[in-house]
Structure 1
Amino acid sequence: MVIAIDGPAASGKGTLARRLAAHYGLPHLDTGLLYRAVAARCIALGRLADEAASEQAAKTLDVADLDPETLRTAELGEGASVVAARPGVRAALLDLQRRFAGQPGGAVLDGRDIGTVICPEAPAKLFVTARPDVRAERRFRELLGRGEDISYDAVLADILKRDERDSGRSSAPLLKADDAVLLDTSDLGIEAAFAAALAMVEARRG
Protein backbone atom coordinates (compact mmCIF):
# COMPACT_ATOMS: atom_id res chain seq x y z
CA MET A 1 0.00 0.00 0.00
CA VAL A 2 1.38 3.38 -1.02
CA ILE A 3 0.00 6.49 0.67
CA ALA A 4 0.79 9.74 -1.16
CA ILE A 5 0.41 12.96 0.80
CA ASP A 6 0.87 16.38 -0.79
CA GLY A 7 0.38 19.92 0.37
CA PRO A 8 2.03 23.29 0.99
CA ALA A 9 4.55 24.11 3.70
CA ALA A 10 3.41 23.69 7.32
CA SER A 11 0.02 22.26 6.36
CA GLY A 12 0.54 19.30 8.69
CA LYS A 13 1.23 16.75 5.97
CA GLY A 14 4.52 15.62 7.48
CA THR A 15 3.04 15.01 10.90
CA LEU A 16 0.13 13.10 9.39
CA ALA A 17 2.46 11.08 7.16
CA ARG A 18 4.55 10.02 10.16
CA ARG A 19 1.45 9.08 12.15
CA LEU A 20 -0.02 7.06 9.27
CA ALA A 21 3.29 5.30 8.65
CA ALA A 22 3.48 4.31 12.32
CA HIS A 23 -0.15 3.17 12.31
CA TYR A 24 0.29 0.90 9.31
CA GLY A 25 3.90 -0.12 10.02
CA LEU A 26 5.18 1.37 6.78
CA PRO A 27 8.43 3.20 6.00
CA HIS A 28 8.04 6.97 5.63
CA LEU A 29 9.87 9.47 3.45
CA ASP A 30 9.54 13.22 3.88
CA THR A 31 10.61 14.11 0.34
CA GLY A 32 11.07 17.75 1.36
CA LEU A 33 14.16 16.63 3.27
CA LEU A 34 15.72 15.55 -0.02
CA TYR A 35 15.52 19.08 -1.38
CA ARG A 36 16.67 20.54 1.94
CA ALA A 37 19.69 18.22 1.82
CA VAL A 38 20.49 19.34 -1.72
CA ALA A 39 20.22 22.97 -0.62
CA ALA A 40 22.43 22.28 2.40
CA ARG A 41 25.19 20.88 0.22
CA CYS A 42 24.99 23.84 -2.16
CA ILE A 43 24.95 26.41 0.63
CA ALA A 44 27.96 24.76 2.27
CA LEU A 45 29.82 25.23 -1.03
CA GLY A 46 28.50 28.76 -1.54
CA ARG A 47 26.78 27.59 -4.73
CA LEU A 48 23.03 27.74 -4.10
CA ALA A 49 22.59 29.74 -7.33
CA ASP A 50 24.52 27.11 -9.34
CA GLU A 51 22.06 24.72 -11.03
CA ALA A 52 24.80 22.27 -12.01
CA ALA A 53 25.97 22.02 -8.41
CA SER A 54 22.42 21.35 -7.18
CA GLU A 55 21.90 18.65 -9.83
CA GLN A 56 25.17 16.94 -8.84
CA ALA A 57 24.17 17.07 -5.18
CA ALA A 58 20.80 15.50 -6.03
CA LYS A 59 22.41 12.69 -8.03
CA THR A 60 24.63 11.63 -5.14
CA LEU A 61 22.05 11.90 -2.35
CA ASP A 62 21.38 8.91 -0.09
CA VAL A 63 18.14 8.64 1.93
CA ALA A 64 20.09 6.99 4.74
CA ASP A 65 22.16 10.15 5.20
CA LEU A 66 19.21 12.48 5.85
CA ASP A 67 19.22 14.11 9.28
CA PRO A 68 15.85 15.80 9.90
CA GLU A 69 17.07 17.70 12.96
CA THR A 70 19.80 19.56 11.08
CA LEU A 71 17.75 20.10 7.92
CA ARG A 72 14.63 21.73 9.39
CA THR A 73 15.91 25.31 9.51
CA ALA A 74 14.29 28.38 7.95
CA GLU A 75 17.34 28.90 5.72
CA LEU A 76 17.19 25.37 4.33
CA GLY A 77 13.41 25.61 3.87
CA GLU A 78 13.95 28.60 1.62
CA GLY A 79 16.90 26.90 -0.11
CA ALA A 80 14.85 23.77 -0.71
CA SER A 81 12.16 25.80 -2.46
CA VAL A 82 14.85 27.31 -4.71
CA VAL A 83 16.47 24.03 -5.80
CA ALA A 84 13.12 22.22 -6.05
CA ALA A 85 12.14 24.54 -8.91
CA ARG A 86 14.98 23.15 -11.05
CA PRO A 87 13.89 20.37 -13.46
CA GLY A 88 17.32 18.73 -13.33
CA VAL A 89 17.17 18.37 -9.56
CA ARG A 90 13.65 16.93 -9.65
CA ALA A 91 14.65 14.46 -12.39
CA ALA A 92 17.68 13.33 -10.39
CA LEU A 93 15.53 12.59 -7.34
CA LEU A 94 12.64 10.96 -9.20
CA ASP A 95 14.00 7.40 -9.29
CA LEU A 96 15.17 7.59 -5.66
CA GLN A 97 11.66 8.46 -4.51
CA ARG A 98 10.02 5.83 -6.69
CA ARG A 99 12.37 3.15 -5.39
CA PHE A 100 11.42 4.10 -1.85
CA ALA A 101 7.74 3.85 -2.73
CA GLY A 102 8.30 0.49 -4.39
CA GLN A 103 9.44 -1.30 -1.24
CA PRO A 104 7.65 -4.57 -0.41
CA GLY A 105 4.48 -3.75 1.48
CA GLY A 106 4.47 -0.13 0.37
CA ALA A 107 5.39 3.20 1.96
CA VAL A 108 4.13 6.62 2.96
CA LEU A 109 5.59 9.61 1.13
CA ASP A 110 4.81 13.28 1.63
CA GLY A 111 5.81 16.24 -0.48
CA ARG A 112 4.57 18.48 -3.27
CA ASP A 113 4.22 16.12 -6.24
CA ILE A 114 3.80 12.64 -4.79
CA GLY A 115 0.26 12.01 -6.04
CA THR A 116 0.78 13.73 -9.38
CA VAL A 117 4.30 12.72 -10.43
CA ILE A 118 6.11 10.33 -8.08
CA CYS A 119 3.29 7.87 -7.32
CA PRO A 120 0.38 8.70 -9.63
CA GLU A 121 -1.01 5.16 -9.20
CA ALA A 122 -1.04 5.30 -5.39
CA PRO A 123 -4.38 3.95 -4.12
CA ALA A 124 -4.56 6.45 -1.25
CA LYS A 125 -3.85 10.12 -1.92
CA LEU A 126 -4.36 13.05 0.41
CA PHE A 127 -3.91 16.74 -0.28
CA VAL A 128 -3.40 18.46 3.07
CA THR A 129 -3.74 22.21 3.31
CA ALA A 130 -4.49 25.05 5.75
CA ARG A 131 -4.84 28.81 5.60
CA PRO A 132 -1.52 30.69 5.16
CA ASP A 133 -1.84 32.49 8.51
CA VAL A 134 -2.37 29.18 10.31
CA ARG A 135 0.57 27.57 8.57
CA ALA A 136 2.79 30.55 9.34
CA GLU A 137 1.87 30.38 13.03
CA ARG A 138 2.72 26.68 13.13
CA ARG A 139 6.07 27.15 11.42
CA PHE A 140 6.86 30.21 13.57
CA ARG A 141 6.33 28.21 16.77
CA GLU A 142 8.37 25.31 15.40
CA LEU A 143 11.31 27.56 14.54
CA LEU A 144 11.14 29.35 17.88
CA GLY A 145 11.25 25.96 19.55
CA ARG A 146 14.46 25.26 17.67
CA GLY A 147 15.99 28.45 18.99
CA GLU A 148 15.85 30.41 15.75
CA ASP A 149 15.60 34.21 15.95
CA ILE A 150 12.77 34.96 13.53
CA SER A 151 9.55 36.96 13.43
CA TYR A 152 6.04 35.79 12.58
CA ASP A 153 5.86 38.33 9.73
CA ALA A 154 9.05 36.95 8.22
CA VAL A 155 7.70 33.40 8.42
CA LEU A 156 4.40 34.41 6.82
CA ALA A 157 6.23 36.20 4.00
CA ASP A 158 8.36 33.09 3.44
CA ILE A 159 5.28 30.84 3.42
CA LEU A 160 3.58 33.01 0.80
CA LYS A 161 6.74 33.20 -1.32
CA ARG A 162 7.19 29.43 -1.19
CA ASP A 163 3.54 28.86 -2.08
CA GLU A 164 3.94 31.03 -5.16
CA ARG A 165 7.20 29.38 -6.19
CA ASP A 166 5.94 25.83 -5.57
CA SER A 167 2.67 26.36 -7.44
CA GLY A 168 4.16 28.38 -10.29
CA ARG A 169 7.18 26.31 -11.23
CA SER A 170 7.18 24.63 -14.64
CA SER A 171 8.45 21.27 -13.36
CA ALA A 172 6.04 19.27 -11.14
CA PRO A 173 4.19 22.21 -9.60
CA LEU A 174 2.25 21.81 -6.36
CA LEU A 175 -1.16 20.55 -7.45
CA LYS A 176 -3.92 18.47 -5.96
CA ALA A 177 -4.20 15.19 -7.89
CA ASP A 178 -7.65 14.70 -9.40
CA ASP A 179 -8.21 11.59 -7.28
CA ALA A 180 -6.74 12.98 -4.04
CA VAL A 181 -8.94 13.67 -1.03
CA LEU A 182 -8.71 17.23 0.30
CA LEU A 183 -8.07 17.67 4.03
CA ASP A 184 -8.06 21.23 5.43
CA THR A 185 -6.38 21.22 8.85
CA SER A 186 -6.85 24.95 9.57
CA ASP A 187 -9.27 24.33 12.42
CA LEU A 188 -8.16 20.85 13.45
CA GLY A 189 -5.86 19.72 16.22
CA ILE A 190 -3.42 16.91 15.47
CA GLU A 191 -5.64 14.13 16.84
CA ALA A 192 -8.69 15.32 14.88
CA ALA A 193 -6.59 15.75 11.73
CA PHE A 194 -5.11 12.26 12.13
CA ALA A 195 -8.54 10.72 12.66
CA ALA A 196 -9.78 12.41 9.49
CA ALA A 197 -6.74 11.31 7.49
CA LEU A 198 -6.98 7.74 8.75
CA ALA A 199 -10.68 7.60 7.79
CA MET A 200 -9.82 8.85 4.30
CA VAL A 201 -7.08 6.24 3.83
CA GLU A 202 -9.32 3.45 5.14
CA ALA A 203 -12.05 4.50 2.72
CA ARG A 204 -9.58 4.27 -0.17
CA ARG A 205 -8.27 0.92 1.03
CA GLY A 206 -11.80 -0.42 1.22
Structure 2
Amino acid sequence: YIDTGAMYRAVALFALQNGFIDVDFFDEKALIQHLDKINVSFSFNSKLNTSETFLNGKNIEREIRGITISNLVSKIAKIKEVRAKMVELQREMGKKKGLVMDGRDIGSVVFPNAELKIFMTAAFEIRAKRRFDELKAKGDNTSYEAVLKNIVSRDDDDTSRTENPLIKAHDAVVLDNSNINQEEQFLIVMNLVNEKLKS
Protein backbone atom coordinates (compact mmCIF):
# COMPACT_ATOMS: atom_id res chain seq x y z
CA TYR A 1 0.00 0.00 0.00
CA ILE A 2 1.39 3.38 -1.04
CA ASP A 3 -0.05 6.64 0.30
CA THR A 4 1.15 9.07 -2.37
CA GLY A 5 -0.08 12.04 -0.36
CA ALA A 6 2.59 11.08 2.18
CA MET A 7 5.20 11.57 -0.54
CA TYR A 8 4.14 15.20 -1.03
CA ARG A 9 4.02 15.62 2.74
CA ALA A 10 7.60 14.30 2.89
CA VAL A 11 8.69 16.92 0.35
CA ALA A 12 6.88 19.59 2.41
CA LEU A 13 8.75 18.43 5.53
CA PHE A 14 12.06 18.52 3.64
CA ALA A 15 11.28 22.07 2.45
CA LEU A 16 10.31 23.16 5.97
CA GLN A 17 13.42 21.61 7.56
CA ASN A 18 15.66 23.33 5.02
CA GLY A 19 14.04 26.75 5.32
CA PHE A 20 12.48 26.73 1.84
CA ILE A 21 8.90 27.10 3.07
CA ASP A 22 6.85 28.42 5.96
CA VAL A 23 3.29 29.66 6.42
CA ASP A 24 3.92 32.97 4.63
CA PHE A 25 7.10 32.19 2.68
CA PHE A 26 8.04 29.78 -0.11
CA ASP A 27 11.30 29.64 -2.07
CA GLU A 28 10.19 27.37 -4.92
CA LYS A 29 13.48 27.72 -6.81
CA ALA A 30 15.51 26.52 -3.83
CA LEU A 31 13.27 23.48 -3.41
CA ILE A 32 13.44 22.63 -7.11
CA GLN A 33 17.24 22.87 -6.99
CA HIS A 34 17.31 20.38 -4.09
CA LEU A 35 14.82 17.81 -5.43
CA ASP A 36 17.64 15.40 -6.23
CA LYS A 37 18.43 15.28 -2.49
CA ILE A 38 14.98 13.89 -1.69
CA ASN A 39 14.42 10.16 -1.43
CA VAL A 40 10.98 9.03 -0.29
CA SER A 41 10.35 5.37 0.48
CA PHE A 42 7.90 3.18 2.37
CA SER A 43 8.30 0.25 4.73
CA PHE A 44 5.62 -1.98 6.22
CA ASN A 45 5.60 -1.98 10.03
CA SER A 46 4.26 -5.43 10.94
CA LYS A 47 3.87 -4.50 14.63
CA LEU A 48 1.56 -1.59 13.78
CA ASN A 49 0.18 -3.27 10.65
CA THR A 50 0.72 -0.13 8.58
CA SER A 51 2.97 1.33 5.91
CA GLU A 52 5.36 4.03 7.16
CA THR A 53 6.95 6.88 5.22
CA PHE A 54 10.71 7.48 5.15
CA LEU A 55 12.55 10.59 4.00
CA ASN A 56 16.21 9.97 3.19
CA GLY A 57 16.18 6.85 5.36
CA LYS A 58 14.46 8.43 8.39
CA ASN A 59 10.98 7.44 9.54
CA ILE A 60 8.90 10.62 9.33
CA GLU A 61 5.41 9.14 9.62
CA ARG A 62 4.51 11.07 12.76
CA GLU A 63 6.10 14.35 11.62
CA ILE A 64 4.16 14.56 8.35
CA ARG A 65 0.68 13.97 9.79
CA GLY A 66 0.31 17.18 11.80
CA ILE A 67 -1.58 20.31 10.80
CA THR A 68 1.65 22.24 10.03
CA ILE A 69 2.51 19.97 7.11
CA SER A 70 -1.18 19.72 6.13
CA ASN A 71 -1.22 23.50 5.72
CA LEU A 72 1.88 23.46 3.48
CA VAL A 73 1.39 20.39 1.30
CA SER A 74 -0.90 21.95 -1.34
CA LYS A 75 1.73 24.62 -2.06
CA ILE A 76 4.27 21.84 -2.63
CA ALA A 77 1.89 19.74 -4.75
CA LYS A 78 1.31 22.61 -7.21
CA ILE A 79 4.93 22.66 -8.37
CA LYS A 80 5.41 21.00 -11.76
CA GLU A 81 8.91 19.72 -11.00
CA VAL A 82 7.84 18.20 -7.68
CA ARG A 83 4.89 16.45 -9.31
CA ALA A 84 7.11 15.12 -12.11
CA LYS A 85 9.55 13.63 -9.58
CA MET A 86 6.78 12.08 -7.45
CA VAL A 87 4.94 10.66 -10.49
CA GLU A 88 8.21 9.10 -11.70
CA LEU A 89 8.76 7.48 -8.28
CA GLN A 90 5.15 6.27 -8.14
CA ARG A 91 5.34 4.71 -11.60
CA GLU A 92 8.58 2.99 -10.61
CA MET A 93 6.85 1.53 -7.53
CA GLY A 94 3.91 0.45 -9.69
CA LYS A 95 6.06 -1.66 -12.00
CA LYS A 96 5.98 -4.44 -9.41
CA LYS A 97 2.17 -4.72 -9.70
CA GLY A 98 0.00 -6.09 -6.89
CA LEU A 99 -0.16 -2.61 -5.44
CA VAL A 100 -2.80 -0.38 -3.89
CA MET A 101 -1.92 3.26 -4.45
CA ASP A 102 -3.86 6.08 -2.82
CA GLY A 103 -3.66 9.61 -4.16
CA ARG A 104 -5.40 12.53 -5.78
CA ASP A 105 -4.16 11.94 -9.35
CA ILE A 106 -3.40 8.22 -9.40
CA GLY A 107 -6.24 7.10 -11.68
CA SER A 108 -6.16 10.18 -13.91
CA VAL A 109 -2.41 10.80 -14.33
CA VAL A 110 -0.06 8.28 -12.71
CA PHE A 111 -1.79 5.06 -13.78
CA PRO A 112 -4.49 5.97 -16.31
CA ASN A 113 -4.59 2.30 -17.40
CA ALA A 114 -4.91 0.80 -13.90
CA GLU A 115 -7.07 -2.32 -13.72
CA LEU A 116 -9.27 -0.84 -10.99
CA LYS A 117 -9.76 2.79 -10.05
CA ILE A 118 -11.81 3.84 -7.05
CA PHE A 119 -12.65 7.48 -6.45
CA MET A 120 -13.22 7.55 -2.70
CA THR A 121 -15.02 10.52 -1.27
CA ALA A 122 -16.89 11.66 1.84
CA ALA A 123 -18.56 14.80 3.15
CA PHE A 124 -16.16 17.51 4.33
CA GLU A 125 -17.48 17.40 7.90
CA ILE A 126 -17.07 13.63 8.15
CA ARG A 127 -13.55 13.73 6.72
CA ALA A 128 -12.68 16.51 9.17
CA LYS A 129 -14.09 14.55 12.12
CA ARG A 130 -12.07 11.45 11.15
CA ARG A 131 -8.88 13.48 10.75
CA PHE A 132 -9.53 15.40 13.99
CA ASP A 133 -9.96 12.10 15.86
CA GLU A 134 -6.68 10.76 14.36
CA LEU A 135 -4.79 13.89 15.40
CA LYS A 136 -6.34 13.89 18.87
CA ALA A 137 -5.32 10.24 19.38
CA LYS A 138 -1.73 11.25 18.58
CA GLY A 139 -1.80 14.07 21.14
CA ASP A 140 -2.23 16.88 18.61
CA ASN A 141 -4.43 19.66 20.01
CA THR A 142 -5.54 21.10 16.66
CA SER A 143 -9.19 22.20 16.71
CA TYR A 144 -11.89 20.55 14.60
CA GLU A 145 -12.52 23.92 12.91
CA ALA A 146 -8.85 24.18 11.85
CA VAL A 147 -8.93 20.64 10.44
CA LEU A 148 -12.17 21.32 8.52
CA LYS A 149 -10.79 24.58 7.12
CA ASN A 150 -7.62 22.77 6.02
CA ILE A 151 -9.53 19.98 4.24
CA VAL A 152 -11.82 22.40 2.38
CA SER A 153 -8.85 24.59 1.41
CA ARG A 154 -6.72 21.65 0.23
CA ASP A 155 -9.55 20.26 -1.90
CA ASP A 156 -10.06 23.68 -3.46
CA ASP A 157 -6.33 24.08 -4.12
CA ASP A 158 -5.99 20.57 -5.52
CA THR A 159 -9.02 20.74 -7.83
CA SER A 160 -8.01 24.14 -9.22
CA ARG A 161 -4.26 23.62 -9.72
CA THR A 162 -3.07 23.52 -13.33
CA GLU A 163 -0.61 20.64 -12.83
CA ASN A 164 -2.41 17.28 -12.45
CA PRO A 165 -5.54 18.56 -10.68
CA LEU A 166 -7.70 16.38 -8.46
CA ILE A 167 -10.34 14.93 -10.79
CA LYS A 168 -12.26 11.68 -10.99
CA ALA A 169 -10.99 9.46 -13.80
CA HIS A 170 -13.79 8.77 -16.30
CA ASP A 171 -13.65 5.02 -15.59
CA ALA A 172 -13.33 5.21 -11.80
CA VAL A 173 -15.90 3.68 -9.47
CA VAL A 174 -17.17 6.29 -7.00
CA LEU A 175 -17.26 5.14 -3.38
CA ASP A 176 -18.78 7.63 -0.94
CA ASN A 177 -17.75 6.37 2.48
CA SER A 178 -19.48 9.10 4.48
CA ASN A 179 -21.86 6.69 6.18
CA ILE A 180 -20.06 3.35 6.11
CA ASN A 181 -17.37 1.94 8.37
CA GLN A 182 -13.96 0.56 7.39
CA GLU A 183 -15.14 -3.05 7.32
CA GLU A 184 -18.03 -2.17 4.99
CA GLN A 185 -15.63 -0.23 2.73
CA PHE A 186 -13.27 -3.20 2.67
CA LEU A 187 -16.06 -5.57 1.61
CA ILE A 188 -17.20 -3.21 -1.17
CA VAL A 189 -13.64 -2.84 -2.47
CA MET A 190 -12.94 -6.59 -2.27
CA ASN A 191 -16.10 -7.25 -4.30
CA LEU A 192 -14.85 -4.79 -6.93
CA VAL A 193 -11.43 -6.47 -6.93
CA ASN A 194 -12.94 -9.95 -7.27
CA GLU A 195 -15.15 -8.78 -10.15
CA LYS A 196 -12.06 -7.44 -11.93
CA LEU A 197 -10.15 -10.67 -11.33
CA LYS A 198 -12.98 -12.68 -12.90
CA SER A 199 -13.14 -10.51 -16.04
Task: Give the TM-score of the pair, scaled to structure 1.
Answer: 0.81
Give a deviation string over 1:159-189, Cα, whole Å, max 9, x none: 1101100111000111110111000000001
Corresponding residue to 1:59 among 33, 36, 41: 36
Distance 1:44 1:63, change over 3 A: closer
- Provide the secondary structure at the position in 2 that maps to 1:176: coil
Deviates most, 166-175 or 42-51: 42-51
- Provide the secondary structure at the position in 1 that maps to 2:117: strand
**Mapped partners of 1:36, 1:142: distance in 2:** 17
Query: 1:56, CA displacement in angstroms?
Result: 4.0
Matched, 1:118 2:107: no
- Which of structures 1 and 2 has the bigger CA Rg? 2
Query: 1:57, CA displacement in angstroms?
Result: 4.6
Which structure carries more relative contact order (alpha carbon 8 Å, separation 6+)?
Answer: 1
**Mapped partners of 2:178, 2:115: distance in 1:** 25
Runs of 4+ displaced beyond 6 Å? none
**Mapped partners of 2:37, 2:113: distance in 1:** 27
State the number of aligned residues.
178
Matched, 1:167 2:151: no
Corresponding residue to 1:84 among 77, 80, 91: 77
In the alignment, is the contact (CA less than 8 A) between 2:70 and 2:150 conserved in 1? no
Structure with greater helix percent: 1
Partner AA of 1:94 in structure 2: V
1:1-206 matches, cutoff 5 A:
28-48=1-21, 49-64=26-41, 65-66=54-55, 67-103=60-96, 105-206=97-198
Query: 1:58, CA displacement in angstroms?
Result: 3.9
**Mapped partners of 1:149, 1:117: distance in 2:** 36
Give a deviation string over 1:138-160, Cα, whole Å, max 9, x none: 01111111111111111111111
**Mapped partners of 1:159, 1:102: distance in 2:** 31
**Between the two proteins, what is the percent identity of the paired residues?**
39
**Mapped partners of 2:101, 2:186: distance in 1:** 16
- Provide the secondary structure at the position in 2 that maps to 1:124: coil
Query: 1:204, CA displacement in angstroms?
Result: 2.3
